[in-house]
Amino acid sequence: MTHRGVLIGCGFFARNHMEAWTRQAGVKIVGVCDTDPAKAEAFAAAYGAEAGTDAAEMLARLRPDFVDIATTVGSHRALVELAARHARLVICQKPFAETLDDGAAMVAACAERGVVLTVHENFRWQRPIREMKARMDGLGKPRFLRLSFRHGYDIYANQPYLAEVPDLALTDVGLHLFDMARHLMGDVVRVACEVQRRNPAVKGEDAFTALLRHASGAVSSVECSFHSVLEPDPFPQSLALLEGDEGSLELTQGYAMRLHKGGRVESFDTEPACPDWGAKPWHLIQDSVVAFQAHVAAVLDGRAEAAPSGAHNLGTLRLTLAAIRAGQTGQTVDLA
Ligand code: NAD
């Protein structure tokens, strides 16, 4: 059975969505929508779908099984509420919402109709993170995680709107890192955070260092900078150290993963394959889109539960907003 989808938002990142959807078995994107007709038509021509500029009209007419929302955050609430009236599964790109009220309304709109809501939270679907999660069982009780995402890659070239975002590092990549921390170590009860504006050419805080206390008692140190001078530049890799009572997993630049356990070190290469439509260094991200969408196809088939769900991602939004508050006030914020 083929699940029919409509993509809303034919911008920079949606190209990855479409390249991956085109190759995903059991799924077909039948409509592509953008308020800019030229963008919708370019996607329609490239990927063989119908083009449109009015999401409400397209969804009412095409009645898809699922809707993939790839617009920027300001439009997410209205589009999720609209999609919940027309499909049985809705995917929303990150950042999920700007406020907790918006996020809660989006979760409620889907829950009321029995619609599955998932957030395109692809960092947890990156191959090194999938491998880390799969190998964690052998480490004993997880006690400490360090996640580091630091680079100097020009992210503003493809996404010029980022230069205007006030809490840039926390809301663009911080929430990916927080989702990974919650995925690996569980819910967070307390957060402290220092933010920095490093690049004078951008408006927002483009670096942060956060300290998380998890409900389990574990601690995570999460850091991010978009203005680091590193050769070779690690973009877009997240580096990690996860310590349990019986072993540690280390992820270093070049996708090298090392398992420290029982007086031995075992090494693995966790570099993902570069999709035939992809390019390095984006292959890490592109492969994670492929993995996430394969998961969505399994959810549509009834073979998996959406991960992360909208409800779970609301917790990540709450943590991100708390980290922003901690950065502004210098106070530790309680989430429990
Ligand atoms: P973009 O501005 O290039 O594309 C967004 C598109 O949505 C634009 O073409 C715009 O015209 C269209 N649009 C806006 N409102 C619309 C509406 N109501 N109906 C139809 N079309 C509408 O942005 P982008 O860089 O592609 O980013 C899109 C989203 O993807 C952002 O939320 C961003 O954070 C996210 N993103 C995620 C990742 C990731 O790794 N998960 C990476 C990059 C960007």
**Residue 83: is its pLDDT beyond 90?**
yes
For 10-25, how does the pLDDT look when each residue is reduced to its tens digit (9 = 90+)? Answer: 999 999 999 999 999 9
Q: Per-residue pLDDT for 1 more than 90?
A: no
List pocket residues of ligand 1, CB cut-off 6 Å: 8-14, 33-36, 39, 55, 70-73, 75, 79, 93-95, 120, 122, 159, 285
According to CATH, the topology of domain 3-120 is Rossmann fold (3.40.50)
Going from the Cα of 8 to the center of ligand 1, the distance in angstroms, rounded, reads 9
Tell which one of 72, 76, 287 to mutate to probe ligand 1, the residue whose CB is within 8 A of the most ligand atoms.
72
Q: Which atom of ligand 1 is nearest to the CA of 14?
A: 26
Q: Which candidate, 238, 258, 239, 237, places its Cα nearest to that of 249?
A: 258
Pocket test for ligand 1, best of 17, 53, 76, 93 (most atoms within 8 A of CB): 93
CA atoms of 34 and 51, how far apart (whole Å): 8
Q: How far is it, in rounded angstroms, from Cα 238 to Cα 146?
A: 10
Q: Pick one of 3.40.50.1980, 3.50.50.60, 3.20.20.70, 3.30.360.10 as the CATH number of 124-334.
A: 3.30.360.10
Q: Where in the chain is the domain with CATH 3.30.360.10?
A: 124-334
Q: Which position has the token pair 């574990």? A: 218
The token duo for 235 is 């973009």
The pTM of this model reads: 0.98
- Rounded-to-integer distance, Cα 91 and Cα 110, Å: 11
What is the model's pLDDT at position 92? 98
**pLDDT at 127 (0 to 100):** 98
- pLDDT of 336 above 90: no
Starting at the earlier edge strand, list the strands of the sheet with 66-69.
50-52, 27-33, 3-8, 66-69, 89-93, 116-120
CATH 3.40.50.720 residue ranges of the chain are 3-120
Q: What is the ipTM of this complex?
A: 0.99
d(Cα 169, Cα 162) in Å, to the nearest integer? 9
pLDDT category at 247 given cuts 50, 70, 90 is very high
Instruction: Give pLDDT tens digits for 137-191.
Output: 999 999 999 999 999 999 999 999 999 999 999 999 999 999 999 999 999 999 9
Buried b (16+ CB within 10 A) or exposed e, 229-260: eeeeebbbbbbbbbbbeebbbbbeeebebebb
Confidence category of residue 281, pLDDT binned at 50, 70, 90: very high
Token couple for 106: 């989006």
Atom of ligand 1 nearest to the CA of 159: 25
